[in-house]
Amino acid sequence: MWRRVASLSSFFSSSSSSFLPQTASRLNAWESLTTGIAQQANGVIVPKEKTPFITFVLGGPGSGKGTQCIKIVETFGFTHLSAGDLLRREIASNSADGAMILNTIKEGKIVPSQVTVKLLQKEMESSDSNKFLIDGFPRTEENRVSFERIIGVEPNVVLFFDCPEEEMVKRVLNRNQGRVDDNLETIKTRLKVFEALSLPVINYYSQRGKLYTIKAVGAEDEIFEQVRPIFTAIEQAVA
């Protein structure tokens, strides 16, 4: 079971242009340290635990990130946590938070950071896995800061599925999943929100050397061939 531990993000500052030659040495350092002596988190001694390996998966609505997460899970054994699915599950529970989340999503707005982070934290702490794909989060700088403050770690890798707006609109309208936010007006609002609020997050992780941009146009398998080398290198480094 994963527990909150101190961040070791400084060992994952590889850039996308030099990912393969750098990954092995940095991930070996991570593996060595995270299975070593007890570490401190916020001044509290915690038991010997392996730090979770976290991948943020970002992209606009209809960019195909959910589909690619399924392929990553099947191929590399990560645990997929969809922020959107967790929020929709909370809505279905008929809780007070669920009602607030529903109204927020209907308006095409961003759910408060603490609500989403707490849902993610609950899933991570109850999982036997330590390799997570967090899909559709963080969407804002506030989301990012809240995640790092509450969870206590930074992501190791950030995938950004870059897709033209017209393609995303077409995909969302064609997927027919019966979601309350899958209509043209809300989609356009969501895309505007994504551009205004999510691109600063993407730029932040680019500057941190954690970002890998995937050109999300074409067949699903073709897109996955851009993703595969990143996780193959990770798998080989920590084997």
Count CB neighbours of 41 within 10 A.
Answer: 15
Is there a contact between 55 and 158 (Cβ–Cβ < 8 Å)? yes
Spatial neighbors of 136 by CB under 8 A, at least 6 apart, are 57, 58, 65, 66, 82, 83, 84
Catalogue all structural domains in the chain, each as residue range(s) with its CATH number.
Answer: 53-229 (3.40.50.300)
State phi, psi for 103 to the nearest 5 degrees: -65, -40
pTM above 0.75, yes or no: no
Cα–Cα distance for residue pair 120/140, rounded to 1 Å = 16
Cα–Cα distance for residue pair 190/213, rounded to 1 Å = 20
pLDDT value for 239: 63
Give, for all 239 residues of the chain, the pLDDT tens digit.
544 433 333 333 334 444 444 444 434 433 433 333 233 334 443 333 568 899 999 999 899 999 999 999 999 999 999 988 999 999 999 888 899 999 988 887 888 999 999 999 999 999 999 999 999 899 899 999 999 999 999 999 999 999 999 999 999 888 766 565 567 777 888 888 888 999 999 999 999 999 999 999 999 999 999 999 999 998 887 66
> What Å distances lie between residue 209 and 19, 28, 80, 124, 202, CA to CA?
9, 18, 23, 25, 11
pLDDT value for 28: 44
pLDDT value for 96: 86
For the record, the structure tokens of 110 come out as 């961003």
